[in-house]
Amino acid sequence: MPRLHRKFLDKAVCKSIANNCKTRTEFAHTDASAYKKSCNKGWIVEFFPNTIHHAKWTKESCHKAALSCKTRNEFKNKFSAAWKVSLHNGWLDDWLPKEHKDVSFERCHDAASQCKSRGEFQKKYGHLYNVALRNHWVNQFAKEFNYRSTHECESIAQRKFSDDDIRTIAKRFKKLSIFRKQAKRMYDIAYERKLLPSFTWLERNEEVIANGFFDCVYVYEFTGTKTAYIGRTVNKKYRDNVHRNNVKDCVRIFADQINVPVPAVKYLADQISPQEGCKYEALMMQEYLNKGWTLLNKQKFSGLGALTCISKKECIEFAKQFEYWNDLYKASKSKFNAIKKYGWDKECVWLKEKKAKNGTWSNATLGQIKRESRKYHTRTEFMRGSKTAYERARSQGWVDILFPISNQRGISKPIVACDPLTETVVKFYASTKDAAKDLKTRPQTITSVLKGRRKKHRGYIFKYTKLKQ
């Protein structure tokens, strides 16, 4: 009998082919299209009702096999028979849907209940873990996990040790690292009860503390809407100024939306190491979420960032090579900003502001700043060449007077045509277009001379000028 396409096969034809075969495997080898048609339509159960191949897979066994797989392809490759039975009965859409949006809460909960930890849940069922993480179900599944976490375990806090007992034991040690190693049980209790910030006699001998950074964890609470922002910083004044005055900051944006001023900052922990700050910040965020607060934080918790790369000793030793702040800024902008940002400029007493002829730039007049700005053509050159004078002009609002907007990009600038030998001014033009019309050439050619790509054109050298005709 010639083979037909699956579209033209009916039940009678498939049954006649199956009757000539003893097993499903033989049926699949003789006519693959008829075998696939029979599997999809469910006729294969009628053709081979007493085979062990089908009787093995019930709904429960198919469900267990599907839970052990992340995708449909993996389920099909590992358990092909179970996949065919599940496809015929329509169970795959509930167990392994095609899109992440169709995954139900019960499906993720069944998979999480079979795991002991969150990491095991992620490794075994990565597809379902991502769906649960996106829908914020993982924190609800944490009660099903059989592991001890610092956020939800109550066994440590319920032990018989009081706060005074832990404090007396901690006073035996001088360093926090030794307390953590030799009395780990007490350290865990003190960490969960939030007693570590009060143990000020313990030296934080981490590298970041040696560099001069002391961390703190803070919170901004909007009690009316029960929303909060939790963060950590090593510079309190700078961070508070950003949250209050920066229009793009999430705290300021939320305060403007509900027409409420930014609340006063509350410090949850102070004078701790950044390593402890990361852990304490995550602990407080989880505590606020358990109380029903909504957080404005975009990230779960912040990392150490560039703190581990910047050293206070290196910055101060590098600054000893210079006499003026301007020279330090030119040599290393990152170290200059670190000294100013973290308040180390109080120790750099030898550094001075660059003096002008008639005093310092901080008290200079408009005439003195104007004479200094004539050495430069643009604002950028003025800022790089004389930083302190530029800051004085910027604070007083003189930059637009010294360098008008008409001299900026996009607006025509006056130019002069000079003799290439004597460099004397021959003609004055209001723009490159006027010069091109007069000399009957293109403006692009004159611009190439101004930029230095060509030496001269039409017997002239062209230059920018601030003078008006």
- Tell me the three-class secondary structure of 419-463, residue by residue: CCCCCCEEEEECCHHHHHHHHCCCHHHHHHHHHCCCCCECCEEEE
Average pLDDT over residues 161-169: 83
% pLDDT > 70, the chain: 82
What contacts 241, CB < 8 A, 6 or more positions away?
Answer: none
Q: Residue 3: its pLDDT value, please?
A: 56
pLDDT score at 209: 47
Q: Residues near 358 by Cβ (< 8 Å), separated by ≥ 6? A: 364, 368
Q: List, for residues 366-394, the tens digit of each pLDDT value.
A: 888 888 888 887 888 888 888 888 888 88
The structural domains of the chain, ordered by start, are 6-55 (no CATH), 207-308 (3.40.1440), 312-346 (no CATH), 355-407 (no CATH), 415-464 (no CATH)
- Main-chain phi, psi angles of 102, to 5 degrees: -85, -5
The token duo for 73 is 């392809």
The pLDDT value given to residue 53: 47
Residue 422: count of CB within 10 angstroms of its CB: 8
pLDDT in tens, 104-160: 777 787 788 777 778 788 877 777 787 888 777 877 776 556 443 433 344 444 456
Between 90 and 373, the higher pLDDT residue? 373
Residue-wise pLDDT tens digits, 412-459: 788 999 988 888 888 899 888 889 989 889 988 998 898 888 888 888
Question: CA angle 54-57-59, nearest 5°?
Answer: 130
Has residue 312 got a pLDDT over 70?
yes
Q: What is the pLDDT of residue 394?
A: 84
Average pLDDT over residues 177-193: 78
- Distance CA(119)–CA(186), nearest Å, equals 27
> For residue 462, which of 175, 431, 68 has the smallest C-alpha distance?
431
CA–CA separation, 108 and 45 (whole Å): 31
Q: Residues of 125-142 as b/e, b for ≥16 C-beta within 10 angstroms?
A: bebbbebbeeeebbeebb
How many whole angstroms separate alpha carbon 275 and alpha carbon 135? 29
CA trace torsion 332, 333, 335, 340 (10° rounding):
140
Q: Is 19 exposed, middle or buried (0-12, 13-18, 19+ CB in 10 A)?
A: exposed
- Give, in order, the Cα–Cα distances in Å from 93 to each of 63, 69, 96, 103, 243: 12, 14, 6, 9, 47
How distant, in Å, are the alpha carbons of 167, 203, 204, 234, 242 from that of 268?
A: 19, 20, 18, 14, 19
pLDDT over 70 at 279, yes or no: yes
Q: What angle do helix axes 312-319 and 333-341 make, rounded to 10 degrees? A: 110
DSSP, res 343: T
- The crossing angle, in degrees rounded to 10, of helices 443-451 and 432-439 is 120
Range from 89-103, 171-185, 234-248 carrying the lowest mean pLDDT: 89-103
Largest CA-CA distance found in the chain, in angstroms, rounded: 112
Nearest to 306 by CA among 270, 276, 342, 343: 342
